[in-house]
Amino acid sequence: MGSGHGTELNLTLKVWRQKNSKAAGSFETHQLTGISTDMSFLEMFDVLNEKLISEGKEAIAFDHDCREGICGMCSMYINGRPHGPKQGVTTCQLHMRSFKNGDTIVVEPWRSAAFPVIKDLAVDRSAFDRIIASGGYISVNTGNAQDANNILIPKTDADEAFGAAACIGCGACVAACKNSSAMLFVSAKVSQLALLPQGQVERKERVKKMVAAMDEEGFGNCTNTGACEAECPKGISLENIARMNRELMGATFK
Amino acid sequence: MSKLDSKIPEGAIDQKWSKYRSTVHLVNPANKRSLEVLVVGSGLAGASAASSLAEMGYKVKVFCFQDSPRRAHSIAAQGGINAAKNYQNDGDSTYRLFYDTIKGGDYRAREANVHRLAEVSSNIIDQCVAQGVPLAREYGGLLSNRSFGGTQVQRTFYAAGQTGQQLLLGAYSALQRQVGMGAVELCSRHEMLDVVTIDGVTRGIIARNLITGEMEKHFGHAVLLCTGGYGNVFYLSTNAMGSNVTAAWKAHKKGAFFGNPCYTQIHPTCIPVSGDHQSKLTLMSESLRNDGRIWVPKKKDDNRKPTDIPEEERDYYLERRYPAFGNLVPRDVASRGAKERCDAGYGVGASKMAVYLDFAFNTARYGRTEATKRNIQNPSHEEIMRLGKEVVKEKYGNLFDMYQQITGENPYEVPMRIYPAVHYTMGGLWVDYNLMTTVKGLYALGEANFSDHGANRLGASALMQGLADGYFVIPYTLGVYLSEEVSRMSAEKDKADSIDKLKTKHPAFDAALKEQTDLINKFLNIKGTKSVESFHKRLGLIMWNKCGMARNKQGLTEAIAEIQALRKEFWSDVRVLGSADEFNPDLEKAGRVADFLELGELMCKDALHREESCGGHFREEHQTEDGEAKRDDVNFAYVAAWEYKGESNWELNKEELKYENIKIAQRSYK
């Protein structure tokens, strides 16, 4: 029930605490009582932080912003899964009704050499920005555009490009991968632009530059396991990785 | 003489902008390379401005408090973006978009700015499509449109329920391209804490590196605040958790007048509050009102399930009160309609503070069309609904999923429960036609300024305005001022202590840096007993109860006193832990809440002084017999631009609004 009839849970939380990128971290255990099943996972963290502050202890640092599943900022690794047990949702959209009374919940930051921990559960994902800066765009200065309806795009292509463009850049794919591969993220952008007529001119250069940037940031190679797709909150498909590999082959060998 | 000069160009309304931009002073390419522009905020306005200015050759730095510019809250806009393309051949035009926006804003917006917005709206769609933004298409490959509130044409472009995301990622990719080319320096996880002015002219900002806590000085020939709105003053709103007023407020205290702070948009269709733990509210896009019908039971305290309440016992109150626009009335009207029904005891759900948004009717309609298309004879009701659900899912799937995620209810089976929530602030820093504030060299773009939406913004117009300001207005108007800077720089080139030589070594930067460092230490040294969050919650309640959807003299007067008392308590009893030289989200929030505690008071004062109702500002003392907003055009057809004079002390400046092209009238959607 969602109409204010939530039941209450008592929970044990094991949360990763780490002072900064250089310090060693460890788990800290907290007991929480009376958590409403109507709360979001981050609201449960709000309750915990208020409790810590009232006890004179520092609040747990975690990234979050829109709390409606679209900004991609929230990033908790919950019970061994990025964004927790529910498929297709971000941490902020995970609600406590997905848990049972008496549960122990283990919460860690994304773990990847390319995403260093800033503090507690917050990590540095600026590598993603640098990959986009290497080629994840169409080079069109403001004012250079023709009338939008002069470019006809079949609905199926537009829909497929949109599906890839729905990536929120949260990094769950990297966190899920045992190799910390960023291929789902990179391939989503490569696919979006390769599928659209506007993206054709730079198609070959783009994929080469983005893959090179990805390698330079220290992300690992694809394992073909598919954990990224399974854990992606936006359902970005593995087909994008296959497409990126084809694009790269096509761009590299003539 | 008024301190406000709006600098509206002469000439006919449809000639002003084209003539102005063709005749303003330009900055030559060589000089652009030596001019530095600081852009604060990386949403639609900030990212589009930064990329466009960098493309032109300016040296640009971008600041955002999030970990990446792509997180800015423009990303959460769902429904769409307006443009007067008239692709649907339904009578749209620049003039009609202009007219709808002025009327929708309840005749409290500046005509010249709004016309310019309507003029450039088409270019925005072209630019975004060229960038690869996957806007929705029809089967023939052409762009698709839908309807939004307050208009009778289909001019809204969209990308499923993620239009803001796609437009922002387009602007972000343009920005990152410039970052990659070295034309933009990106400072993410940085928060602007103050504007540095020298002799009344903007020379840079003070920012805090949120990871290390280091306080930084940044020089700029111009500073663009693209920092969004201040809806989080209400604590609960559809804004992101980090959305804040700090940059705009610090600018205000440095001399930028604040325009119409009381104009707040309460969005009619949000998911209702579920309990005290609530940290934010989630919008259900206005596009849903295309296909949903809003109703409450005709009987008070009707506890039957919505699906058990027969058609004749339902009150489709918007269709009843506003037959011409029905469920597509503007947001302020729809929100007050819901409040009126709930206050009168007809609300639904456990809290009784909700109304139904029901898709059954249109699901059936779509289902019948699909059955006809597929040549299914005499389809059963179940079959019709199944086919209809497929269509609804295609149009609104992500919104329905989000609703189910949050409430645990399936909106394909039962109507959504919705209630109004704070969504957008029409008020903001006062700007002239060039988007410059009352501080020389300091600009405000997008939601951070006050200029285009009057007292109520129409749906799908925020994305339009943010991108208009960034892509197509500021690239022209910034040159007006920077060309003067070029002359000044040339005149001062032999001066040993010129600002161009000293830059951040000027003592004004050190003074501002010290002031902000002291402020941070002050928060940490109060060592009180109550959390920052608890103060924010209490402020939000005061604002929502007394400066929310309906306001009156008594409530506003009380709110002012309560906010002053709360602020005093904050400064003596807030508890901020941790230190200044580390990543400390609680400390960041303390600064933001401190500023909200001052802004809230000004909003109430503005609402109290405006003895009329207009758009989102509804004073209970000023309503028509049938409960509609009653404007007072004789006494209040002006922009209230507040000048900061010290704590709890503001001076009112007025910019008269002249309507030369649109006949000012009682706004009617009946």
Q: A2: pLDDT confidence band, cut at 50, 70 and 90?
A: very low
Three-state DSSP class for residue B662: coil
Would you give the distance in Å from CA A97 to the centre of its chain?
22
The chain-wide mean pLDDT, for chain A, equals 96
Q: Does B244 touch chain A (CB under 8 A)?
A: no
Contacts of A194 in chain B (CB under 8 A): none
Identify which of A53, A65, A146 has the shortest CB distance to residue B126: A146
Whether residue A87 is found in the same domain as residue A139 = no
Contacts of B125 in chain A (CB under 8 A): 148
Tokens of B19: 């003539």
Is residue B47 within 8 A of residue A146, CB to CB? The reply is: no
The CATH number of whichever domain residue B277 belongs to comes to: 3.90.700.10
Whether residue A104 is found in the same domain as residue A29 = yes
Q: B149: pLDDT confidence band, cut at 50, 70 and 90?
A: confident
Residues B656, A208: Cα–Cα separation, whole Å: 57
Chain A nearest-CA residue for B348: A3
Structural domain that includes position B375: 269-421
| Percent of chain B with pLDDT strictly greater than 70 | 100
pLDDT beyond 50 at B79: yes
Whether residue A115 is found in the same domain as residue A130 = no
> Is residue A46 domain-resident?
yes
Q: Does B142 touch chain A (CB under 8 A)?
A: yes
Whether residue A113 is found in the same domain as residue A141 = no
Catalytic residues of B: 331
Q: B287: pLDDT confidence band, cut at 50, 70 and 90?
A: confident
Contacts of B177 in chain A (CB under 8 A): 133, 137, 139
Q: Does B441 touch chain A (CB under 8 A)?
A: no
> Is residue B364 domain-resident?
yes
pLDDT tens for B209-220 read: 999 999 999 999
Mean pLDDT of A22-37: 97
Identify which of B471, B577, B583 has the shortest CB distance to residue A53: B577
Q: Does B67 touch chain A (CB under 8 A)?
A: yes
> Is residue B335 domain-resident?
yes
Q: Do B130 and A146 touch (CB under 8 A)?
A: yes
Domain-ending residue, one of A79, A96, A119: A119
Whether residue A76 is found in the same domain as residue A155 = no
Contacts of B277 in chain A (CB under 8 A): 36, 38-39, 43, 46-47
Mean pLDDT of B277-302: 93
Contacts of B350 in chain A (CB under 8 A): 3-5
Instruction: Measure A71 CA to nearest chain B CA, in Å.
Output: 5
> Is residue B114 domain-resident?
no
> What residues contact residue B385 under an 8 Å CB cut-off, 6+ apart?
B360, B363, B364, B367
Chain B nearest-CA residue for A156: B139
pLDDT beyond 50 at B562: yes
Number of domains within chain A? 2
Instruction: Measure A40 CA to nearest chain B CA, in Å.
Output: 8
Identify which of A2, A132, A146 has the shortest CB distance to residue B409: A2
Chain B nearest-CA residue for A47: B277
Whether residue A105 is found in the same domain as residue A130 = no
Structural domain that includes position A66: 8-119
Mean pLDDT of B141-148: 92
Whether residue A129 is found in the same domain as residue A233 = yes
Is residue B371 within 8 A of residue B389, CB to CB? The reply is: no
| Percent of chain B with pLDDT strictly greater than 90 | 93
Q: Does B262 touch chain A (CB under 8 A)?
A: no
pLDDT beyond 80 at A83: yes
Identify which of B73, B130, B166 has the shortest CB distance to residue A144: B130
Q: Do A43 and B140 touch (CB under 8 A)?
A: no
Whether residue A109 is found in the same domain as residue A177 = no
pLDDT tens for B57-73 read: 999 999 999 999 999 99
Q: B668: pLDDT confidence band, cut at 50, 70 and 90?
A: confident
Number of domains within chain B? 1
Mean pLDDT of A182-202: 98
Residue B1's pLDDT is 58
Domain-ending residue, one of A74, A99, A119: A119
pLDDT beyond 90 at B398: no
Domain-ending residue, one of A73, A95, A119: A119
Is residue A220 within 8 A of residue A111, CB to CB? The reply is: no
Residue B501's pLDDT is 95
> Is residue B397 domain-resident?
yes
Nearest Cα neighbor of B70 from B141, B176, B160 is B176
pLDDT beyond 70 at B74: yes
Task: Identify the DSSP state of A91.
Answer: G
pLDDT tens for B337-355 read: 999 999 999 999 988 999 9
The CATH number of whichever domain residue A59 belongs to comes to: 3.10.20.30
Q: A3: pLDDT confidence band, cut at 50, 70 and 90?
A: very low
pLDDT beyond 90 at B572: yes
Whether residue A90 is found in the same domain as residue A131 = no
DSSP per residue over B546-614, as a string?
HSSSSB-HHHHHHHHHHHHHHHHHHHHHEE--S-SSS--HHHHHHHHHHHHHHHHHHHHHHHHH--S-B
Contacts of B407 in chain A (CB under 8 A): 2-3
Residues B50, B27: Cα–Cα separation, whole Å: 17
> Is residue B131 domain-resident?
no
The one-letter amino acid code at A98 reads: S
Whether residue A106 is found in the same domain as residue A135 = no
Q: B403: pLDDT confidence band, cut at 50, 70 and 90?
A: very high
pLDDT tens for B36-60 read: 999 999 999 999 999 999 999 999 9
* Residue/partner pairs of B272-276 with CB below 8 Å, 24 or more apart: B272/B349, B272/B351, B272/B353, B272/B354, B272/B417, B272/B418, B272/B419, B273/B236, B273/B351, B273/B353, B273/B419, B274/A2, B274/A3, B274/A4, B274/A6, B274/A36, B274/A38, B274/B407, B275/A4, B275/A6, B275/A36, B275/A38, B275/A39
Identify which of A63, A66, A97 has the shortest CB distance to residue B408: A97
Mean pLDDT of A125-135: 98
Mean pLDDT of B427-438: 98
CA distances from B641 to A197, B58, B653 (A): 47, 31, 5
- Residue A174 is inside which H or E element, if any? helix A172-176
> Is residue B295 domain-resident?
yes
The CATH number of whichever domain residue A222 belongs to comes to: 1.10.1060.10
Q: Do B166 and A2 touch (CB under 8 A)?
A: no
Looking at the DSSP bridge assignments, the partners of residue B36 are B59
Instruction: Measure B329 CA to nearest chain A CA, in Å.
Output: 26
Mean pLDDT of B589-609: 98
**Model ipTM?**
0.97
Would you give the distance in Å from CA B586 to the centre of its chain?
25
DSSP per residue over A217-248, as a string?
TT-B---S--HHHHH-TT---THHHHHHHHHH
Q: Does B182 touch chain A (CB under 8 A)?
A: no
> Is residue B367 domain-resident?
yes
Instruction: Measure B573 CA to nearest chain A CA, in Å.
Output: 13
pLDDT beyond 80 at A205: yes
Contacts of B581 in chain A (CB under 8 A): none
Is residue A174 within 8 A of residue A180, CB to CB? The reply is: yes
Whether residue A80 is found in the same domain as residue A42 = yes
Tokens of B457: 């913004």
> Is residue B148 domain-resident?
no
Is residue B40 within 8 A of residue B225, CB to CB? The reply is: yes
Q: Do A140 and B130 touch (CB under 8 A)?
A: yes
Whether residue A137 is found in the same domain as residue A176 = yes
* Of A138-152, A203-217, B387-401, B575-589, the least confident: B387-401
Q: Do B123 and A143 touch (CB under 8 A)?
A: yes
Is residue B421 within 8 A of residue B238, CB to CB? The reply is: yes
Q: How many CA atoms lie within 13 A of B349 on its CB side?
A: 28
Residue B300's pLDDT is 95
A-B C-beta contacts closer than 8 Å: 252
Identify which of B68, B176, B349 has the shortest CB distance to residue A3: B349
pLDDT tens for B310-340 read: 999 999 999 999 999 999 998 999 999 999 9
- Residue B442 is inside which H or E element, if any? strand B442-444
Contacts of B242 in chain A (CB under 8 A): 65
Q: Do A70 and B162 touch (CB under 8 A)?
A: yes
Contacts of B186 in chain A (CB under 8 A): 129
Q: Do B134 and A93 touch (CB under 8 A)?
A: no
